[in-house]
Amino acid sequence: MTSFAQSKCRGVAILLGAIVALQSIQAFASDLSSEQSGTHVSGEWASVLGSSLFDESGARIGTITISSDSIFDLADPDENKALYRLANRLHIKTRPDVIQQQLLFKSGDRFSIQALEESERILRTNRYLQEVSIHPVRHENGSVDVNVETSDVWTLMPKLAFSRSGGKNDAAIGLKEMNLFGSGTAIEVLYKSDVDRDSSILKFVDRNLGNSWYGLRLDLADNSDGYSQFLDIGKPFYSLDSRRALGFSVLNANSINAFYDRGEEAAEYRDRATGYEIYRGWSKGLRDGWTRRYTAGLAYDDHRFSAIIDSAYPTVVIPRDREFLTPFVGFEFIEDRYEKSRNHDQLNRVEDRFLGTRIVARLGVARAGAGSDRDAWLLNVDAQTGFGNSDTSSLLLATRLGGRIEQDGARNVSMNVSARYYKHQSDRRRLYMSLSGTYGRNLDLDQYLVLGGDTGLRGYPLRIQTGDKRALFTIEQRYFTDWYPFHLFHVGGALFFDVGRTWGDGPVGASGNKLLRDVGFGLRIGSSRSGLGRMIHVDLAVPLDDKDGIDSVQFLISTRKSF
């Protein structure tokens, strides 16, 4: 048997073994499920539904009332001010039909607490909504009336941004509307300048085309080094109980990328990328607390690399061209286990924390002469699980494995393992620790790992180290204050310590892969009234190792999705 055939057999055996193991896990979880006929409900719901053990089987959804509030609560004297009243008058509230379309239930449907809770989570993913609450208000004669209450944020945002990390500056100016005429549609025009390129960008996103579950995303960028065009349209698995999915996406891009050595550009190359993907998905929906999904499709990925003739940097090495036309199959197993909390990764916002188990795998095959430039099996697996709870402590584990099996062995193999730990100390304090490690083998040259000020090592220049293996540990003492200036911003802070390094030579040689440490503190500012959904980070970090040629204090300003 050839080495390629042996590799294929091993890949199939691993895939089958994973399926068997997952089925065993699901069977075990099913055996542990409650045999009671009712569903436990929270205390606030029990007073409406009539019992802490509520039988859903005979109840139906009655009247659904949707209340969409504006940005400021004028019943609150601290918010009943001229400027806030003007903002409410100028703001176009989210239309009730936009809210209703995203609900997983309608009048006459069988009552389901799970459907109400998941509808809340779906609505909270919309950045144009600040607060979402769905709860039953009356249970009578087998009919349960439901209230849906939401409040908006200001969504027309002139964007003026500046950030600094790793000794480099980024800036952006533009205009973004995330809820055009209350429709949920987002459109953005932006000029952005960062360490890699200057870009003029146009974005359009509608997650619910024509009040359907079909979505559209269009990203166009005219860059100083080329262009980028991306289109995605389709109907995703929008809920745990959805049964069908389909989608199509296409990418066309031309850009100049660089290899780094100790935080400085050492070589450049051009990457011309084209690709598309079309897929169809099937599921039987949510069964016994688990969802199984299956997908099949076709993906095309083509990268053409070339030297930059007039580059200021020498062309030391260029990644190898690659072209794959890949029929693929995939599956996903996901557990319905979420918790609502505040003050973990966000400032005084409701967070839907996934503490269940999720496993996603995809296997594709490429053939030379059938649209690909070589024979290969392409495998990607993602898995995550959670332990504990938000009220005491929680641990989130995740792993990702990807790569190709070609005739001469494994290529571009990358395995990442990460752990995030949260310790609840009080309503205002959290201890946070994270540990991540990545192992790479025979990586494509454009896929090598970097570490620096923009990737978690805050006391050092960006991309100061490059290699095919990487480890990073962070510990933060997080503080969540009750300071609420002008009823516009929530304020927090953090003390942090980072330590990490890479191993192995990079594409342009070794980059001094020593263990690096830093310590610092930072300010966190989160806006509760705008739809940007970002948190301002202001950090001061001090490098503790290998400080030659490095500023003694790194000053970082950035906007991020989380703490």
Write the pLDDT tens digit of every residue in 63-103: 999 998 999 988 888 889 999 999 999 999 999 999 999 99
pLDDT at 162 over 70: no
Say how many domains are in the chain: 2
Query: Taking the model in full, what pTM does it have?
Result: 0.86
195 inside domain: yes
Specify whether 427 is located in the same domain as 411.
yes
- Residues 79, 487 contacting (CB under 8 angstroms): yes
DSSP annotation of 38: S
Q: Are residues 175 and 285 in the same domain?
A: yes
What's the pLDDT score for residue 161? 64
Residues 256 and 270: their CA atoms lie apart, in Å, by: 4
CATH of the domain at 160: 2.40.160.50
For the four alpha carbons of 218, 238, 357 and 121, in that order, the dihedral sign comes to: positive
Residue 34 belongs to a domain: no
Most confident of 69-78, 153-162, 404-413: 404-413
Residue from 402, 528, 535, 551 nearest 462 by CA: 551
Three-class DSSP category at 178: coil
pLDDT tens, position by position, 348-388: 889 999 999 999 999 999 999 899 999 999 999 999 999 99
Residues 12 and 46 occupy one common structural domain: no
Q: What is the pLDDT of residue 33?
A: 38
- Considering only residues 280 and 509, tell me which one the structure prediction assigns the higher pLDDT: 280
Residue 316 and residue 270 in one domain: yes
Domain boundaries, position 85: 39-152
Q: For residues 547 and 341, give the distance between their C-alpha atoms in angstroms, rounded to a whole number.
A: 40
What average pLDDT does the chain have?
87
- Residue 237 counted as domain residue: yes
Give the model's pLDDT for residue 164.
Answer: 61
CB distance 190 to 172 below 8 Å: yes
> What pLDDT score was predicted for residue 51?
67
Question: Residues 141, 259: one domain?
Answer: no
Is residue 33, in this structure, part of any structural domain at all? no
Let me know whether 551 and 463 are in one domain: yes
The secondary structure of residue 87, as a DSSP letter, is H
Residues 247 and 351 in one domain: yes
Q: Tell me, yes or no, whether 161 lies in a domain.
A: yes
- With a CB cutoff of 8 Å and minimum separation 6, the contacts of 122 are 102, 104, 238, 239
Query: Residue 432 has which token pair?
Result: 């946070």
Report angle CA 344, 350, 354 to the nearest 5 degrees.
Answer: 65
3-state class (DSSP) for residue 155: coil
Residue 221 has pLDDT above 90, yes or no: yes
Distance CA(45)–CA(23), nearest Å, equals 34
Does residue 396 lie in a domain region? yes
pLDDT of residue 22: 42
Decide which of 103, 119, 152 is a domain's last residue.
Answer: 152
Asked whether residue 73 is assigned to any structural domain, the reply reads yes
For residue 32, being part of any structural domain is answered with no
| 3-class DSSP state of 82 | helix
CATH at residue 53: 3.10.20.310
Final residue of a structural domain among 137, 152, 167? 152
- Domain closes at, from 97, 117, 152: 152
